[in-house]
């Protein structure tokens, strides 16, 4: 169950202490797209997200979107946010993470992953030894998320809660 526990838990991408991450040696931020950077119903990043990503670029972070969605879903975000992006990533499997790590020549300790799902984003990051950061999903219910994922996600939450490892709304970093 430890593999599902995020290193950091924050309300949203806007409440993460990026300066602290920088100081701890993080050089690259891997963002999940759906329900992390954007709601699933919008096809374009909003202005608030745009300015956040711009400020992260200014801080010197390499920002990359890593998503299990298809390329045509990712592309407009990649263009408007001016970042790199990986589609069809099959998180939590290691393949895409390893590829990114090789391309950008990054150590495990230099990468942080930000996402809204324990069973994909957090498990994937933890398996790689990256810093894992959980945020609340932008919309709590979305018909596009598969039923199986939703059920699994709920089960893992329940279990972590029972073990005293994660409680909804008890943020930490």
Give residues in contact with Mg ion (CB under 5 A): 32, 34-35, 116
Cis-peptide into 92, omega within 30 deg: yes
Q: Which residue has the tokens 């300790």?
A: 109
Beta carbon of residue 124, minimum distance to Mg ion (angstroms, whole number) = 11
| 156 token code pair | 């893992």
- Rounded distance between C-alpha atoms, residue 170 and residue 164, angstroms: 11
Beta carbon of residue 26, minimum distance to Mg ion (angstroms, whole number) = 20
Beta carbon of residue 32, minimum distance to Mg ion (angstroms, whole number) = 4
Q: Which residue has the tokens 């608030």?
A: 48
Asked if 111 and 94 count as a contact pair (C-beta separation under 8 A), the reply is no
**Which one, 34 or 153, has the nearer CB to Mg ion?**
34
Beta carbon of residue 36, minimum distance to Mg ion (angstroms, whole number) = 5
Q: Count CA within 13 A, CB hemisphere, residue 95.
A: 9
- Rounded distance between C-alpha atoms, residue 60 and residue 10, angstroms: 22
């Amino acid at each position: 169950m430890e593999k599902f526990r995020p290193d950091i838990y924050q309300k949203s991408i806007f409440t993460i202490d990026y300066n602290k991450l920088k100081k701890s040696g993080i050089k690259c931020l891997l963002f999940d797209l759906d329900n992390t950077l954007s709601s699933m119903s919008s096809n374009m990043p909003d202005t608030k997200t745009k300015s956040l990503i711009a400020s992260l670029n200014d801080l010197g972070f390499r920002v990359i979107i890593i998503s299990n969605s298809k390329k045509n879903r990712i592309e407009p975000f990649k263009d408007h946010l001016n970042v790199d992006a990986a589609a069809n990533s099959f998180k939590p499997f290691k393949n895409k993470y390893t590829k990114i790590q090789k391309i950008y020549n990054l150590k495990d300790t230099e990468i942080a992953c930000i996402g809204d799902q324990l069973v994909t984003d957090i498990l994937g990051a933890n398996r790689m030894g990256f810093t894992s950061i959980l945020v609340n999903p932008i919309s709590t219910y979305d018909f596009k998320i598969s039923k199986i994922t939703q059920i699994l996600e709920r089960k893992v939450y329940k279990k972590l809660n029972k073990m005293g490892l994660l409680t909804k709304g008890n943020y930490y970093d």
